[in-house]
Amino acid sequence: MSFLSKLLSVKAVLMLSMLVGATAMAQTAPSQDPLLSRDGGGVPPNIMLTMDDSGSMTWSHMPEETVYVGAYTIANPIGSNGARMDPGENSSVIVNFIGTVAAVPGSSNYRQRLLRSSDTNTVYYNPEIRYDPWAVATGGRMSAYSAAAAPLDPMNPNTGGTVNLTNSRSITNTGLTWCYRTSSSSSCGTTSSAVSYDPGLYYRLKKDGSGAYLDPSNAANYTEFSINSGTSFTKYSGRTDCAGTSCTQAEERQNFSNWFTYYRTRNLLARGSVLEAFSDAKNTFRIGWGRINQGSSRSIDGVNTTVIESGVRAFDSTAKANLFNWVQALPASGSTPLPRAMRAVGEYYKRSDNKGPWSDNPGQTNSTVDKSCRRAYQIMVTDGYWNQTTTSVGNSDNTNGAVITGPGRTYQYVSPRPYRDGNSDRLADYAMEYWKKDLRTDLTNNVVPSADNPAFWQHMVNFMVGLGVRGTLNPAVDLPALTDGTKVWGTDEIDDLWHSALNSRGTFFSAKDPKELADSIKNSVGQALERELREAGVATASTILQDGNRKYIPMYRTSDWNGDIQAYLLDSAGQAGALSWTATSKLPLWSSRNIYTWRTDTAPSAAVPFTWADMGADNQAALGSVGSTYTSSFVDFLRGDRSKEGDSQPFRVRKGILGDFINSNPVLVKDAVNMGYINLPTSQGGGAAYSSFLTQKAARPAVLFVGANDGMLHAFKDTLGAVPADDGKEIFAYVPQAVYPNLSKLSDKTYGTALLYHQFFVDGPLMETDAYVKAPAASTPSWRNYLLGTLGAGGRAVFALDVTDNVNLGASSIRWELSSANNGDMGYISAPVQVGVLPNGEWVAIFGNGSYSTSGNAVLFVVNLETGVAQTLTVDSSGANGLGGVGVVRNSSGQITTLYAGDLKGSLWKFDYLASASSRFQVSGGAAFFAAASSGGTSQPITQAPVAYDFSKGGKLVVFGTGVLNTTADADSTAVQSIYAVWDKAADTLPRPMGRSVLEPRTITAVNGAGGAIFYSLAGTAVNWTAQRGWVLDLDVITGLRVVYPLQRVSSSVALVSAVAPARNVQVCDTAAGSGLNLMFGVEDGVNPSYPMFDTNGDGVFGSDDARVAGYATGADGIDAVVRGEQTCVSGICTTKLSIQNTAGQFGASIQETQSTVGVRVLKDRVWRRIINPPIR
């Protein structure tokens, strides 16, 4: 597990099923209030804004060397020189000035046209953009000036001179140097002849019928416009300044004048865009600023520093005014020493004095402790062509970093692709240096990591903002090639900007106009504030540690409740690398999406397309008044149509189509499931038939399934890089019928507010499995691959899909949906459904009924997998109860013969197979197997499935935990919960139910590790297996600790148990989502291993210097995915290294077993990964 995000403002989301007691059961549905999270107070991030003030910023063209336009590349005529666009401009301030770009109407010189077209010169006037005067700190804008008197300097409009942009004229001046004056001119020079000049001239490069640009070196491919000859101009969508259906000459002249005054050079464009970006920013971060050519060492908050001109301060009205004044006066002169600037900011973030950037009030003497969870960012705005280095850092991105340890995690940078290169002292090396190194080794390493930035130590992230530049590599498409090594980093300075952002886990932006630049800066600030929200469940493409593995992270944002799926590469150490794809970027058009739903008003019930016309009258009625009023428009909205969103439209505005992914675990369906069914009788598909099926599954592409709170189960294709264009595409979605009554909430304009904060939909666990049943429309059985899921807190329903042909999913793939409408004993189910074959050959789905059923009984469901017909067995009918997750035991052939399940009143039930029973099972011994109760006699609820291990003395050792979290009373409860290991001994004479009195107690204590990490030690006396039946561990090391996640079988003798506790008395920088721990222990002993299982001293080695412990501290973010390394056996002892993957990183472990007990590992059903309270805002 990983620490969940500390957010700047907190609102919470979630729940987990099941509760104890009649009072709690008076509720009729799971709570959606915050239960696990507590707000310890947000810590605003530090942001250092570093501006390029080099001489090239005086230029009016970009890019400066090579122009990329469509399929064409062409050298910029001016190159690394400066030119002015009007002879009235002051040439003395322009670096490398060579002349004035001609503006001859009707000129056939393509160079003039290229430089005065925004399609080929991104600084020049673009008629698609509305150019506004600069924003001011107090609100509003600076003045708009007439095109007849456009100021040359917006900060000195009355004294800095003006230009009459409406004055088309002929100029005779032998002192003027004109560039590209004649049709054949390729250089700049003077002339004694009159030169026609129109200061309001601009061009657009034409496109062909397919929308591709034509050759920019052909003057005929440009269309000429002038604010002085035209009377009507095209009104583009961004031109909200134009009142009519087109833009008038007066409107076009004013827009052109605004561009000339405020944006005509790189420097003006950068200054105006920064002012725009921060004009409406709130006091939710701390900002400092500097410029790359500030080379003199001066005191910044008591420490001499270059580059930086203001240390970070809270972005209040004073800081805002100071920032605006500084930007408005930003000069442009000198070289472009970006590496020196990068290093200066990195060194600033290394400060440990009491006036530095980590303190509560930078610049003042602080007595409070520096906040160790504060994030540090740099936003560097530049034209990109850097030309000076600084103190060498070598080839940092190709050099392994030190092992860094923090609470519950370790990390070492091991120079993987796409980060490493073969060059030293590049800008990217400096970015890497201040990312991979712990900048504050004296502070606890508890910066909240995220999926795309695993750093939990104090580090610097860079957002690199280039002014419309592009290098030899294309950030949009070249990352996969850099990752697999088919392309490599060179020495291009623009590529280096992207490389710097990538190395520091930031973002690269190439902004070609004021709006794009302002949006890029806003995006950078937004990521600094919001990226911590990117945490949810996790899946991996392989359970083996290997290069090229992939890790899938669902994400979400609160208030709007939109989400995404992000796929990352994993290296052979289990560490996440580059982002491979995101689902939102590959989502089909709403009208083309392959979405189905369940319809019960047909005979038989069947899946149909999710459209108003096809869903049927019952489903239409279930949509309520919104459905009856807006009919197909409402269904189209749910499918992703956004045409009816907005103030004057019926539906709320969404920021994304995909909903929030919160509790539903991602399951990658390909070849990871091997149920060991080769030992089944051939009549049930055993032997060669199952072996052949495993081969068949391995040959198909991968498809990621995950449920979302937009009402759908989604399926995303992943070819694992074979066809990159297909990776991440949604190929199927399913809307369960049971969610229909709540779907109208998604369109409500109060959704996400206190009035209607959030609703769960398809939010429960998913389980992939194999079964020998009939394929859709088949008459004989064959091996099929199934996916089963529940709605969790979203509804009382279970569904089954046949996903054998996982890339061709449709109506026939949906086999059945069973809900409380069919059987009132079905509650809200938040434990995985189990599937298997009974000795009689019947394939069934098995699950407990969960909480909040109609009667409140504890009921076992056994459902025929082919037909969806359910049989039930009630084990307790006293009310206020519910049966939790079911653990299954299979015989040597792979048939289910025994079940174990606990209920909300603390009873652990054992079920034996009985062919004559309608449910095919009976309660073993006619009574509960065990009664879980605290040492004081208080019953302990059991909500997750027990795990049964083969015991060395015969029979089974049943391992389970207790705990519930469903109401505020549950969250506030300090009742001690426990982990149990109970021997189910054959022909045992001890009376049932057994209790704690026949168990040997275990104790747990905390042990400090390196880097602030906390580990846990388990101790106790050996169990007397003659008189006793196991051991019990009370989870009293953290107040409120409980087991509400499924247990994991790590091996034939080792279990991984995750426990969490609602946050209490949370301080700043403490996790806002509760605390937790992972325990990994040998199930027969329940004590520390005799060997080093964890790297407690942080040296990257499992060695004799490490403490013998059995667990480590975590945050409360759900069950983790266990990924295995290669196993090595020496002298009969086999060692396996593990990577325990979480949403933000991984934690390494090592287990040892005797060679005789290792056996053949069989991967069972996919593990469910749940988050109770994800990051909230």
SS (H, E, C) 685-750: CCCHHHHHHHHHHHCCCEEEEEECCCCCEEEEEECCCCCHHHCCCEEEEEECHHHHHHHHHHHCCC
**Residue 115 CB contacts under 8 Å (≥ 6 apart), including other chains:** 61, 77, 78, 83, 101, 121, 124, 180
Q: Is the pLDDT of residue 37 over 60?
A: no
Long-range contacts of 525-530 (CB under 8 A, 24+ apart): 525/47, 525/277, 525/278, 525/281, 525/285, 525/379, 527/463, 528/45, 528/47, 528/285, 528/375, 528/377, 528/461, 528/463, 529/8, 529/45, 529/284, 529/285, 530/557, 530/1177
- DSSP secondary structure, 1016-1060, as one string: EEEE-PPP-TTT--EEEEE--SSTT-B--S--EE-SSSEEEEEEE
| Overall average pLDDT of the 908-914 stretch | 98
d(CA 755, CA 777): 47
For the CA atoms of 1082, 1084, 1090, 1091, the dihedral, rounded to the nearest 10 degrees, stands at: -20
pLDDT band at 31 (very low <50, low <70, confident <90, very high): low
Residue 734 and residue 710 in contact, taking contact as beta carbons nearer than 8 Å: no
Q: Is the pLDDT of residue 1126 over 90?
A: no
Amino acid 1076: pLDDT: 86
Query: What residue has token string 């061009």?
Result: 203
Residue 818 and residue 863 in contact, taking contact as beta carbons nearer than 8 Å: yes
Beta-sheet pairing, 409-411 with 308-314: unpaired
Q: Is the pLDDT of residue 533 over 90?
A: no
Amino acid 1160: pLDDT: 38
Predicted confidence (pLDDT) per residue in 322-360, tens digit: 999 999 999 999 999 999 999 999 999 999 999 999 999
Exposure pattern of 33-65 as b/e (b: 16+ CB <10 Å)? ebbbbbbbebbbbbbbbbbbbbbbbbbbbbbbe
Residue 306 and residue 342 in contact, taking contact as beta carbons nearer than 8 Å: no
| Overall average pLDDT of the 27-40 stretch | 56
The one-letter amino acid at 763? D
3-state secondary structure of 1075: strand
The DSSP element (H or E) to which 6 belongs, if any, is none
d(CA 462, CA 408): 26
d(CA 317, CA 279): 11
Could you tell me the CA-to-CA distances from 137 to 276, 280, 313 in Å, in that order? 10, 9, 16
Whether the bond into 993 is cis, omega within 30 of 0 = yes
3-state secondary structure of 561: coil
Q: Name the nearest CA neighbour of 829 among 735, 945, 932.
A: 945
| Overall average pLDDT of the 1067-1078 stretch | 68
pLDDT band at 901 (very low <50, low <70, confident <90, very high): very high
Query: What residue has token string 């700043």?
Result: 1068
Give the total residue count for the chain.
Answer: 1177
Beta-sheet pairing, 460-467 with 376-382: parallel
DSSP state of 178: E
Amino acid 363: pLDDT: 95
Predicted confidence (pLDDT) per residue in 399-439, tens digit: 999 999 987 778 999 999 999 999 999 999 999 999 999 99
Q: Name the nearest CA neighbour of 64 among 74, 76, 46.
A: 76
Task: Give the start-end residues of each E strand in 383-446.
Answer: 404-406, 409-411
φ and ψ at residue 1062, rounded to 5 degrees: -60, 145
The one-letter amino acid at 13? V
| Token output for 758 | 């959030």
Predicted confidence (pLDDT) per residue in 822-871, tens digit: 999 999 998 999 999 999 999 999 999 999 999 999 999 999 999 999 99
Higher-confidence residue: 283 or 597? 597
Q: Is the pLDDT of residue 9 over 50?
A: no
The one-letter amino acid at 487? K
Higher-confidence residue: 771 or 1142? 771
Q: Is the pLDDT of residue 67 over 90?
A: yes
d(CA 1172, CA 1): 12
| Token output for 404 | 């860094």
| Overall average pLDDT of the 542-562 stretch | 67
Q: Name the nearest CA neighbour of 1032 among 962, 1117, 1130.
A: 962
| Overall average pLDDT of the 490-508 stretch | 95
Amino acid 144: pLDDT: 98
- Cα atoms in the 13 Å half-sphere on the side-chain side of 618: 10
Q: Name the nearest CA neighbour of 992 among 954, 1029, 946.
A: 1029
d(CA 507, CA 462): 7
Domains annotated for the chain, with CATH where assigned, are: 46-51+270-403+412-533 (3.40.50.410), 60-264 (no CATH), 579-819 (no CATH)
Summary mean pLDDT of the chain: 89
3-state secondary structure of 517: helix
d(CA 670, CA 701): 6
**Residue 15 CB contacts under 8 Å (≥ 6 apart), including other chains:** 30, 31, 32, 33, 35, 793, 965, 966, 1172
φ and ψ at residue 307, rounded to 5 degrees: 70, -55
| Token output for 671 | 């070849």
**Residue 1160 CB contacts under 8 Å (≥ 6 apart), including other chains:** none
Strand order, beta sheet including 376-382: 308-314, 286-291, 46-51, 376-382, 460-467, 507-511
- State percent of the chain over pLDDT 90: 75
Query: What residue has token string 């003199």?
Result: 296
Amino acid 390: pLDDT: 86
Residue 10 and residue 1151 in contact, taking contact as beta carbons nearer than 8 Å: no
Predicted confidence (pLDDT) per residue in 161-211, tens digit: 999 999 999 999 999 999 999 999 999 999 999 999 999 999 999 999 999
d(CA 13, CA 336): 47
d(CA 338, CA 52): 8
- State percent of the chain over pLDDT 70: 90
d(CA 554, CA 584): 11
